[in-house]
């Protein structure tokens, strides 16, 4: 009987979608999922059920997930299969919220979604504007609150793009972020993101926004060198390269110390 139940559980997991598995992991972590309307899209937003926000809110933005299953095969659900962002949030003592992109973490399909929104247009004007609208709605609930945008991988590119539009952005922290999307796609011989905004081609962020950009010294997915053009355009901003880290290790384990380090940078500005 136990063997039958175990097999049934495995079959159930195998049949669930990446979005459903992401939601399950978030729930196991004590996060609550809700829907917030952006500009033309519904966004999944995850936060702790009772968060007393006072002064600062950490807004997490996840990576690109799995846009493609293989060459020429677009994924029907791009939601993260290995959500490092949830592990980072779990180790963050500050009030925090995860804002999903359009079409990500969708347990119920959104009619507005097309595959372009997680492939060629994953950092498009439509995506950035809608996510900015969602964060702005969250800030209505928390007046007098400063925002720190925290982006992992492709979420770091989005963090920079959102920071230009959110007046209450105090700081931007990125981890393994493809801050020059043209250089990144060229490096890996990926299809160019023709419908997307490139952080390296946007105006530099305001000097009033504290930037801390972390890269792993062993990261071959997004090496720090791929973002050279981005840093050449910013004022007094240089990448922080951590020895022994790659694109996945060892961010979660060291996250409290990394956040503390970024906070010291912010206070010194």
How far apart are alpha carbons 224 and 70 in whole angstroms?
Answer: 26
- Which residues form the domain of 189? 40-268
Q: What local confidence, expressed as pLDDT, does residue 229 receive?
A: 98
Q: What local confidence, expressed as pLDDT, does residue 12 receive?
A: 40
Does the residue 5 lie in any domain? Answer: no
Burial of 78 (0-12, 13-18, 19+ CB in 10 A): buried
Does the residue 35 lie in any domain? Answer: no
47, 97 Cβ separation under 8 angstroms = yes
Examine the pLDDT at 202 and tell me if it is beyond 60: yes
211, 169 Cβ separation under 8 angstroms = no
Q: What local confidence, expressed as pLDDT, does residue 5 receive?
A: 33
Count up the domains in the chain and report the number: 1
In this structure, what CATH number is given to the domain that contains residue 130? 3.40.50.1820
Does the residue 12 lie in any domain? Answer: no
Does the residue 17 lie in any domain? Answer: no
pLDDT tens-digit map of 207-221: 999 999 999 999 999
pLDDT tens-digit map of 108-121: 889 999 999 999 99
Does the residue 140 lie in any domain? Answer: yes
């Amino acid at each position: 009987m136990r063997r039958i139940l175990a097999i049934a559980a495995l079959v159930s997991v195998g049949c669930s979608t990446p979005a459903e598995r992401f939601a399950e992991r978030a729930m196991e972590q004590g996060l609550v999922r809700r829907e917030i309307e952006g500009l033309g899209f519904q966004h999944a937003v995850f936060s702790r059920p009772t968060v007393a926000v006072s002064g600062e809110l950490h807004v997490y933005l996840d990576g690109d997930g799995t846009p493609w299953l293989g060459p020429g095969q677009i994924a029907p659900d791009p939601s993260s299969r290995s959500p490092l962002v949830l592990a980072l949030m779990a180790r963050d003592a500050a009030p925090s919220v995860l804002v999903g992109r359009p079409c990500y973490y969708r347990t119920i399909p959104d009619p507005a979604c097309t595959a372009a929104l997680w492939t060629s247009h994953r950092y498009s004007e439509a995506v950035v504007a809608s996510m900015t609208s969602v964060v702005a709605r969250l800030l209505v609930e928390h007046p007098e609150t400063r925002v720190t945008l925290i982006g992992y991988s492709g979420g770091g590119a989005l963090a920079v793009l959102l920071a230009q539009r959110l007046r209450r952005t105090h700081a931007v922290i990125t981890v393994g972020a493809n801050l020059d999307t043209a250089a990144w796609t060229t490096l890996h011989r990926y299809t160019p993101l023709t419908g997307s905004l490139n952080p390296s081609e946007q105006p530099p962020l305001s000097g009033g926004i504290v930037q801390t950009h972390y890269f792993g010294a062993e990261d071959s997915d997004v090496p720090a060198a791929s973002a050279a053009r981005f840093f050449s355009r910013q004022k007094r901003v240089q990448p922080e390269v951590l020895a022994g880290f790659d694109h996945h290790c060892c961010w979660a384990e060291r996250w409290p110390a990394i956040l503390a380090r970024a906070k010291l940078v912010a206070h010194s500005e």
